[in-house]
A = this chain, B = another copy of it.
Amino acid sequence: MPQNESRLAHMLDKLKAQHFRITPQRIEVLRILAGSDGHPSVETIYEEVRRDFPTTSLATVYKTVTLLKELNEVLELGFPEGGNRYDGARPYPHPHLICTTCHRIIDPDLESLEGVTRELASETGFQIISHRLDFFGICPECQEKKN
């Protein structure tokens, strides 16, 4: 998976460029975020990191994720019910499709959003900085299981 490796390399370069230290725990968190397309939670990342580094603290995972967020290297999908999810492969705003049954989160292809944003800006005078678009529904697999 060359794309993941380049994402990982990019993240590492960014940390180095800003003189953040490269620690084993950080490398592991970066690797998971760069390599996963499933929008993992902090808890998921934590469990995976602890397979290789069993003494890792949950606080370290939080701190690393927060750092990457500030560096715009991970997209945080905050949910008020808790259990935020993270996208390290596409760290820019993009729509998500969330299965309310199995909680998987998918990146759908949707092009028409930029036009909507422009329309909105010209209509309201707002300077649009960012957006968040979530669709909630039931994925094909979960629809199948119901029958």
A contact set with B: CB distance below 8 Å: 78-82, 84, 97, 99-100, 106, 108-110, 112-113, 115-117, 119-121, 123-140, 143
Contact = CB atoms under 8 A, between A and B. Distances in A.
B110 A112 contact: no
Given A80-B79, A80-B80, A136 B132 contact: yes
5 contacts: A97-B126, A125-B140, A129-B137, A130-B135, A131-B134
Given A80-B84, A110-B116, A138 B129 contact: yes
A81 B78 CA distance: 8
Contacts of A130: 135-137
Given A80-B80, A80-B84, A135-B117, A108 B129 contact: no
